[in-house]
Amino acid sequence: MRRTLRFLLIIICIITMFACNQKSSSTLISEVTTELTTINLVSSSIPTENIAVHIPEAGINDFVSYQAVYISNDSFDAYIDVNISEDESSQMIESISEIIDKLPSDHKLVYRISDNFGSWIDNDIITLNKTNFYLDNNYVNFTLLYLFGESSNYGLIYGYSQYLLDQSSVINLSDLTSLTNNDDYVFDLTWPLFLSEYVTDEIGVMVRSISTNFVSYLINTEGEEVFQDLLTQSGTFNDQIDNSLASYLSEWLYSLGIVYQVSPMPIVIRYSTASSYYPVIIETMWAKYYINKDFMNEQFDFDVVFTDYYELRSFINTLEYGMEQVREFTNNDLSIDLYGKIPIYYNSIYGSADLGYGALYRGSEENSSIVARAAGATLHEYVHYATLGTKYKDTSALTNMYLLEGIAIYVSTQYDDWWEKANQYEYENILPSMTSMNEFVMNYNTFLAENQTQFNIFDYLDCTQYTFIDTVTFPNFVSSASYVKYLIDNYGIELFWQYYGEEETFDVLYGKSSAEMQEEWKQYLIDKFE
């Protein structure tokens, strides 16, 4: 009751400030501050001054401004949009106070509340969308995310918010049994519970129910301190948290009479919110993936199409493994992790609107990033990242282009199943209808028949270069890998990396000029397909 009266006084002061619009801003601030000091609060108002709020969208320094009323107490500072009614402001301030009183916090929190921006955490500030303030416990969830880490387990965060609000629901056991039989991925509680774009409403409700009941069980059986330790650790990249979580989940199911072993994910993945463009950041040991909410239904031909969160997560796992293989393959002091986790943006915010197949952006050595609206381009661009700093000299511009794109295609092809499948699909379903590709299709069909072999991506690339050897004066991405593969297969990977590392010139290392090597490679292709 005392707290309610205290905040009603604050709101009264705010109303008084607006009524006295004939007075100067400095006079108003002075009077309001003096009056509130008598109840051990410091409050000031800034109705005519804009507050700039950073919007962390795609790494672009974008800001929005809004007029705010500033309210402060011992626990937090709040900058509330002046367009929010006095009643709503009072209720939101009271709600924040009540939840903070229940949580471990040794420093002041800062909130900004308006409909001019979404809900996320940036620069130690909790920004909350006014309309969604109470939706799915939004104000509680983002307070918990701030206190326990932005990448904390989202399922545990939501369940804890429900526990703190004493609104636990009872799960339907038949629903839970059905889930364990069909959709065990529901028990991966690390997924972004607040992002309905990635899951159906039905699944979202089920996961929220599981989270709420599980957290209540864990606190009641293990104690709140054990639970908070688990929640704190859930934002790290130690897979022990995933093993512990799977074990606790299995115990909880057993307590309900359901014998089901929950398995942890093979690769550690953490999630956090970003912004309206990127509602989720999937962070792993190797990269940060900024996923656009529209990514699943804006795909290009041959691309990986994500129909739900489960497919998205599976893709990240597969890609993560491919990145690890790439780094091992290029382990020649060129792929040292100089830049930390590389951001990968799945959107077309960078560059032109029709950016389809990705690019590596070098803003600075500390801020390089990959943009890939087409998912299949990611590993190719990652090879460029893994070989940053490589140079090659005393060769023609033509050879340089073969090397630059050739190594990216050659290496990524070995670890990217999508790339081979996409090319095979192209060969079988698209090229036969293209008159300009008749000669290529005939050459490759003949090669497969004569050698009694199946589709192979490297033979496919070789045949591309052979077919257009006299008509293409500038290498395309597909044929570039043919030249790199020839150098590696015939002269060895160690020699290739020596040259890539600029230890010696091409002719010193290979005993011939790059022009002579190009002719030798072309003759190899002729011998292979004639």
**Encoded tokens for 204:** 């979202």
Q: Say whether pTM exceeds 0.85.
A: no
* Last residue within a domain, chosen from 380, 400, 420: 380
Whether residue 3 sits in one domain with residue 114: yes
Query: Are 326 and 401 found together in one domain?
Result: no
Of 31-45, 140-154, 281-295, which gets the smallest average pLDDT? 31-45
* Interior angle at CA 424, CA 420 and CA 430, nearest 5: 135
> Would you place residue 28 in the very low, low, confident or very high pLDDT band (cuts 50, 70, 90)?
very low
Terminal-residue alpha carbon distance, the chain: 91
**Residue 474 token pair:** 């500038």
Is the same domain home to 309 and 374? yes
Q: What is the pLDDT of residue 497?
A: 82
- Residue 329's pLDDT band (cuts 50, 70, 90): confident
Q: What is the pLDDT of residue 393?
A: 65
Q: Is residue 286 part of a domain?
A: yes
> Which span out of 185-194, 294-303, 335-344 was modeled with the highest average pLDDT?
185-194
Task: Kindly state whether residue 41 falls inside one of the protein's structural domains.
Answer: yes
The reply to whether 376 and 397 lie within a common domain is no
Residue 142 lies in a domain: no
Which residue did the predictor score with more confidence, 96 or 355?
A: 96
Is residue 32's pLDDT more than 50? no
pLDDT tens string 450-465: 999 999 999 999 998 8
Can you give the pLDDT at residue 305?
61
Asked if residue 298 belongs to a domain, the reply is yes
Provide the domain count of the chain: 4
Rg (CA), the chain: 29
User: Does any domain span residue 435?
Assistant: yes
Residues 484-509: pLDDT tens digits? 999 999 999 888 888 876 667 888 88
Residues 280 and 265 in one domain: no
- pLDDT exceeding 90 applies to what percent of the chain? 32
119 and 56 in one domain? yes
pLDDT greater at residue 316 or residue 339? 316
Strand 120-122 to 125-129 pairing:
antiparallel
pLDDT reading at 277 higher than 60:
yes
Which tops the pLDDT comparison, 399 or 38? 399
- 108 vs 15, more confident: 108
Average pLDDT score, the chain: 79
Tens of pLDDT along 400-452? 777 888 888 899 888 887 778 878 888 998 899 999 899 999 999 999 999 99
Residue that terminates a domain, selected from 272, 300, 318: 272
In a domain, 143, yes or no: no
Whether the per-residue pLDDT at 297 is higher than 80: the answer is no
**pLDDT 10s digits, 216-247:** 999 999 999 999 999 999 988 888 999 999 99
Contact 17, 45 (CB under 8 A): yes
Is residue 408 assigned to a domain? yes
Same domain, 219 and 244: yes
Both 122 and 6 in one domain: the answer is yes
Q: 260 and 158 in one domain? A: yes
Q: Which long-range contacts (CB under 8 A, 24 or more apart) does 312-317 make?
A: 312/198, 312/282, 313/185, 313/188, 313/191, 313/265, 313/269, 315/375, 316/267, 316/269, 316/282, 316/284, 316/289, 317/265, 317/266, 317/267, 317/269
Whether the per-residue pLDDT at 42 is higher than 50: the answer is: no
pLDDT value of residue 221: 96
> What pLDDT sits at residue 193?
66
Residue 468: pLDDT over 70? yes
Are 297 and 360 members of one domain? yes
Calpha distance 230→333 (Å, rounded): 37
Domain boundary among 357, 380, 403: 380
Whether residues 375 and 496 fall in one domain: no
Element (H, E) at 289: strand 287-291
Same domain, yes or no: 215 and 290: no
Q: Which of 140-144, 376-380, 498-502 has the lowest mean pLDDT?
A: 498-502
Residue of higher predicted confidence among 432 and 179: 432
pLDDT of 519 higher than 60: yes
In a domain, 9, yes or no: yes
- Domain of 376 in residue numbering reads as 274-380
